[in-house]
């Protein structure tokens, strides 16, 4: 409850004061990284989603290996490799992982999960086609999904994907949407910079 109140107060302060937020421009996409902004709290998945939306952004989706590697390289070089970050990935309400911000399923040819074999053995991932199950008939009937290990983080120190309990408190990454707000203080960077 205290985190919700803190989130609401921070949102009101940002709107009332016209507070500028710091974003980065990486590979043609504008990102907000909560760890870079001193007034951004660590939040659970749902509050991180709402926080991004309150800024006119959305939780980040990584549909290509290049986009994921560019972000992880930047985070490591910027000194943020020791933190976990929420992405928009989840399997809430389905048996497959989707990017919440885009609605696209995780692609079977692009597996960025943290050591998938170890994750399956530890019970963090389903041994049944965790990354390429795109059959709507199967996912609509799947009742095993939920908030426990249902949301995807970039897991430190490798910053690969890992399912996590959606109620865990983490940092998060937001990205631009089609609706642009102009109160950003952007820093142009490349993934090699830190």
Give the burial string for 179-189 (b: 16+ CB within 10 Å, else e). Answer: eeeeebeeeeb
Instruction: Give the span between the Cα atoms of 30 and 23, in whole angstroms.
Output: 6
How much is the pLDDT for 132?
44
**pLDDT tens-place string over residues 142-179:** 445 467 889 999 999 999 999 999 999 999 999 997 55
What is the rounded average pLDDT for all residues in the chain? 78
Domains of the chain by start residue, with CATH: 21-179 (3.10.100.10)
pTM over 0.75: no
Tell me which residue of 2, 21, 32, 6 sits closest to 177, measured CA to CA.
32
How much is the pLDDT for 72?
96
**pLDDT tens-place string over residues 15-64:** 444 567 889 999 889 999 999 988 889 999 999 999 999 998 999 999 88
């Amino acid at each position: 409850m205290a985190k919700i109140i803190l989130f609401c107060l921070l949102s009101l302060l940002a709107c009332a004061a016209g507070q500028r937020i710091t974003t980065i421009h990486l590979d043609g996409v504008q990102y907000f990284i909560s760890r870079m902004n001193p007034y951004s709290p660590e939040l659970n998945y749902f509050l991180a989603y709402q926080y991004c939306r309150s800024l006119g952004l959305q939780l980040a989706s990584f549909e290509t290996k290049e986009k994921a590697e560019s972000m992880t390289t930047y985070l490591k070089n910027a000194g943020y490799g020791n933190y976990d970050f929420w992405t928009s990935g989840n399997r809430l309400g389905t048996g497959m992982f989707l990017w919440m911000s885009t609605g696209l399923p995780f692609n079977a040819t692009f597996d960025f999960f943290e050591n998938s074999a170890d994750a399956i053995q530890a019970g963090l991932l389903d041994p049944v086609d965790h990354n390429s199950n795109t059959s709507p008939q199967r996912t609509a009937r799947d009742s095993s999904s939920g908030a426990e290990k249902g949301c995807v983080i970039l897991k430190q120190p490798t910053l690969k994907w890992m399912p996590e309990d959606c109620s865990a408190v983490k940092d998060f990454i937001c990205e631009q949407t089609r609706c642009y707000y102009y109160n950003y203080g952007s820093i142009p960077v490349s993934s090699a910079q830190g």
